[in-house]
Chains A and B, each alone.
Chain A
């Protein structure tokens, strides 16, 4: 650029970025810091009366600062300070995850999984040899057989249930992961199929279908109210049961059964999220040149081959960042589950079948008034997601493709 550098450049950049940086510092970095601090205290209300002498309260809590001191809430609950022992909240969240039995169970699970990774490695190795000595399916059959035998020998189901009984943390995170693993591919496949059909030039009524299929995304901006509507469909006298009665099929209280309640949440969330994928893929498909397909057809590639070898690789740069973003959003999904099941069904005192990460944290704060434990949980979740983001950026160059 022309004629500007050094101090002037520095101040210009500062001038441009200062408001954003300040906002992020106050409303992102500070909350994270305070949460980390609170996770070591015995705070149990969301608006407690802070004891300004205890711990680091006089530094960390703004209402303890001299200029704001008179604004501090009064008479709301007991004052809080550092908990005894300092790691108690973390211990509560993790339960007995670090006990010898749990460690043994975890070890046996890992040992049982190792052959799968090994199989993949061997398969990749053999792929490079021409001609290939052993076929891929044979390698995988042997690998899976080994896993099954190992699983039986190491009593994997028993180890699994041992792990599940260690405490809330593993149960909640595992359920959330299952939710993500179900929801993201469902939305992706549905978005992909619809986008491929809509992309055809010979389709009549294309605009109508595009607009109609786009509506859920618009409705998802009021996700929590829309989820209340969905809840009605799954009720005892709801639409699904009414239709089943007319067809003469047995009805069911969908939200009282763990599995069907879980499925209800997945279906609803797919409704909210598939049109995002559809729009992203439609946009990406526009940029795939038609000549590539013509060339492929000359070479005799069928529809499936074209999809796998041309379409998907070419729209990959658009799909990958979208997938990472939706995975993170799905992991932090709150409104749908909260409005439909409220985290249940389940027994009191244990996380319910649809009590995903955010719902668990919300309930810990606002229903069981367990602020300290909720923040400890948040810190662990944040560390997990933080490293996942760094990892995906480092190895998949995902943010590079989308934002650079």
Chain B
């Protein structure tokens, strides 16, 4: 299949790629355009939807200095950061144990976790808010962090366990012969080897908390200075009194770093996701 294709085939391939690229990039490009335009959106001409006909940084200025946008970003960053740290700490040890120790009910535990994952998240919201209300964390960032951390558990455990499985166990056994206990051999040998998978797990945990909408809007409903970025932006975009350009500018500020992080970790992602599959 890796023979040089004929000219006609090549033209066809490029045509598909170009169409797909336009499909992929246009929505993001559109937001870039909207963020630099004045506040009008509904009086657009066709040209303005595809190329920048005018440009100003007014929307960015308003978002950054006249709205609590930076506070929202800070809140989101705080919550997503702590979620990532907690989730990594908790999940790594569990994934290691499930991967390394043979114990009764191991297969069942895995299957059980996978099946639990199918319960619609929106619907555990009521019960979660009950728990958080009982321990006094409803409406606080720490409650949200708890909910997010536990939300990442299943996927992260599965993912990390898959990676640990591909690291030969002999290394740790050698460490144990040299006098390490199981915990020591895990910390000194297993963990450093799993760095790429840890990076992926951290990325997913962070982005999951960073972009989540339903939990964030229900568990931390008010005040404005406590809100997460995504629900705050959502209500901004849907309110009639706020120009759409503001939303676009804020969205660009949030989405560009996200895309950059994703692109930088693309290699990791491919490796992390296909491990244990065919490469096995």
Contact = CB atoms under 8 A, between A and B. Distances in A.
Interface of A: 1-2, 4, 9, 12-13, 15-17, 19-21, 23-24, 26-32, 34-35, 38, 46-47, 61-63, 65, 68, 71-73, 190, 193-194, 197-198, 200-203, 209-219, 221-226, 228-230, 232-233, 237, 239, 242-243, 245-246, 271, 275, 279-280, 282-284, 286-288, 290, 293, 297, 303, 306, 311, 314-315, 317-318, 321, 328, 332, 334-335, 339, 357-358, 361-362, 365-366, 371, 374-375, 378, 381-382, 385-386, 388-390, 393, 399, 401-404
A191 B79 CA distance: 33
Given A197-B17, A283-B273, A218 B122 contact: no
14 contacts: A17-B98, A20-B90, A20-B94, A193-B16, A202-B5, A212-B24, A213-B21, A213-B24, A221-B262, A225-B233, A229-B30, A233-B30, A239-B49, A242-B45
B279 A287 contact: yes
A218 B262 contact: yes
Contacts of A328: 117-118
Contact of B210 (A2, A71, A221): A221
A17 B97 contact: yes
B276 A218 contact: no
B24 to A, nearest CB: 5
A381 B120 contact: yes
A32 B119 contact: yes
Interface of B: 1-5, 10, 13, 16-17, 20-21, 23-25, 27-28, 30-31, 41-42, 44-46, 49, 89-91, 93-94, 96-98, 101, 103, 110-111, 113-131, 133-136, 146-147, 149-151, 153-154, 157-158, 161-162, 165, 173, 176-177, 182-183, 207-208, 210-211, 213-214, 218, 230, 233-234, 237-238, 244, 247, 251, 254-255, 258-259, 261-263, 266, 269-271, 273-274, 276-280
Contacts, number: 316
Contacts of A190: 20
A16 B94 contact: yes
Contacts of B20: 190, 194, 213
Those 9 A-B pairs whose CB atoms lie nearest each other, nearest first: A283-B274, A218-B262, A16-B97, A31-B124, A31-B127, A27-B150, A62-B134, A385-B118, A20-B94
B124 A28 contact: yes
Q: Which of B98, B126, B266 has the most chain A CB atoms inside 10 A of its CB? A: B126
A26 B131 contact: yes
A280 B233 CA distance: 31
Given A284-B278, A358-B120, A62 B176 contact: no
A222 B46 contact: no
